[in-house]
Chains A and B, each alone.
Chain A
Amino acid sequence: MRGNMAEANYTESDMMVVTASRFLRDGEVVFIGIGLPSLATNLAKRLHAPGIVMNYESGTLDTKPAKPPLSIGDDELSLKALAIVSGPEMFRYGLQGGTFETGFLAAAQIDRYANLNTTVIGDYWNPKVRLPGAGGAPEIARFCNRSIIMLKQTRRSFVEQLDFVTTIGYWKGGDSLSEIGYSAKGSLTVITDLGILEPDPVSKELVQTHIHQGVTIEQVKESTGWDLRIAPLLKTTTPPAEKELTILNELREMLT
Chain B
Amino acid sequence: MPEFLDLSEAVRKYVKPGMSVALEGFTHLIPHAAGLEIIRQKIAHLTLIRMTPDIIYDQMVGSGCADKLVFSWGGNPGIGSLHRLRDAYEHEYPHRMEILEHTHAALVNAWVAGASGMPCAIFKGYRGTGYPGINPDIRFIDCPYTGVELTTVPAMNPDLSIVHAQKADRAGNVWLKGIIGIQKEAILAASKSIVTVEEIAESVDEKSGGMVIPRWVIDAVCCVPKGAFPSYAEGYYNRDNTFYIRWDKISADREKFARWIEEYVMSTSDFKEFIDKINAGQHG
Separation of A162 and B130 alpha carbons in the complex (Å) = 10
B180 touches A164 (CB 8 A): no
B234 touches A79 (CB 8 A): yes
By the criterion of a CB under 8 Å from any partner CB, how many residues of chain B are at the interface?
53
Given contacts A75-B238, A164-B130, 19 further A-B contacts (CB under 8 A): A59-B26, A59-B181, A70-B241, A72-B77, A73-B77, A84-B179, A84-B180, A86-B180, A87-B104, A87-B108, A88-B182, A90-B108, A91-B108, A125-B134, A133-B101, A136-B104, A138-B105, A166-B131, A181-B148
Separation of A181 and B147 alpha carbons in the complex (Å) = 11
Nearest neighbor of B124 in chain A, beta-carbon distance: A96
User: Given contacts A70-B244, A78-B178, A79-B234, is CB(A133)–CB(B73) below 8 Å?
Assistant: yes
B182 touches A78 (CB 8 A): no
Residues of A within 8 A of B178 (CB): 75, 78, 84
A135 touches B79 (CB 8 A): no
**B71-108 interface code vs A (CB 8 A; 1 in, 0 out):** 11111011101000110011000000000011111001
Q: Does B112 contact A (CB under 8 A)?
A: yes
A100 to chain B, nearest CB (A): 13
Q: Does B27 contact A (CB under 8 A)?
A: yes
Q: Size range of the interface on A?
A: 35 or more
A91 touches B180 (CB 8 A): no
Residues of B within 8 A of A159 (CB): none
Cross-chain contact of A78 among B71, B103, B234 (Cβ < 8 A): B234
Residues in chain A within 8 A of chain B (CB atoms)? 34-35, 57-60, 69-75, 78-79, 84, 86-88, 90-92, 95-96, 115, 119, 124-125, 127, 129-139, 142, 162, 164-168, 171, 177, 180-182
User: Given contacts A59-B26, A135-B103, is CB(A70)–CB(B75) below 8 Å?
Assistant: no
B128 touches A135 (CB 8 A): no
User: Given contacts A71-B78, A73-B179, A136-B104, is CB(A88)–CB(B111) below 8 Å?
Assistant: yes
Pick from A58, A95, A115, A119 the residue with the most CB of B within 10 Å: A58
A86 touches B89 (CB 8 A): no
Separation of A134 and B99 alpha carbons in the complex (Å) = 14
A226 to chain B, nearest CB (A): 19
User: Given contacts A75-B239, A87-B51, is CB(A134)–CB(B102) below 8 Å?
Assistant: yes
A58 touches B130 (CB 8 A): no
B181 touches A87 (CB 8 A): yes
Residues of B within 8 A of A34 (CB): 77-78
Q: Does B149 contact A (CB under 8 A)?
A: yes
User: Given contacts A58-B27, A73-B26, A74-B241, is CB(A88)–CB(B108) below 8 Å?
Assistant: yes
B74 touches A133 (CB 8 A): yes
Separation of A135 and B106 alpha carbons in the complex (Å) = 10
Residues of B within 8 A of A131 (CB): 75
B185 touches A88 (CB 8 A): yes
A91 touches B181 (CB 8 A): no
**B135-152 interface code vs A (CB 8 A; 1 in, 0 out):** 000000000000011000
A-B contact pairs, 6 of them (CB 8 A): A69-B78, A75-B232, A88-B108, A129-B90, A134-B72, A171-B128
**B235-250 interface code vs A (CB 8 A; 1 in, 0 out):** 0001101001100000
Separation of A210 and B185 alpha carbons in the complex (Å) = 47
Q: Does B109 contact A (CB under 8 A)?
A: yes
A135 touches B90 (CB 8 A): no
B234 touches A70 (CB 8 A): no
Q: Does B126 contact A (CB under 8 A)?
A: yes
Residues of B within 8 A of A115 (CB): 128
Separation of A127 and B90 alpha carbons in the complex (Å) = 6
A169 to chain B, nearest CB (A): 10
Nearest neighbor of A179 in chain B, beta-carbon distance: B128
B76 to chain A, nearest CB (A): 9
Separation of A233 and B241 alpha carbons in the complex (Å) = 45
Nearest neighbor of A139 in chain B, beta-carbon distance: B105
Cross-chain contact of A71 among B77, B103, B130 (Cβ < 8 A): B77
B89 touches A130 (CB 8 A): yes
Separation of A180 and B108 alpha carbons in the complex (Å) = 22
Cross-chain contact of A139 among B73, B125, B134 (Cβ < 8 A): B125
Nearest neighbor of A163 in chain B, beta-carbon distance: B130
Residues of B within 8 A of A72 (CB): 27, 77
User: Given contacts A72-B27, A133-B101, is CB(A86)–CB(B77) below 8 Å?
Assistant: no
B27 touches A74 (CB 8 A): yes
Residues of B within 8 A of A58 (CB): 26-28, 179, 181
A13 to chain B, nearest CB (A): 16
Separation of A132 and B102 alpha carbons in the complex (Å) = 11
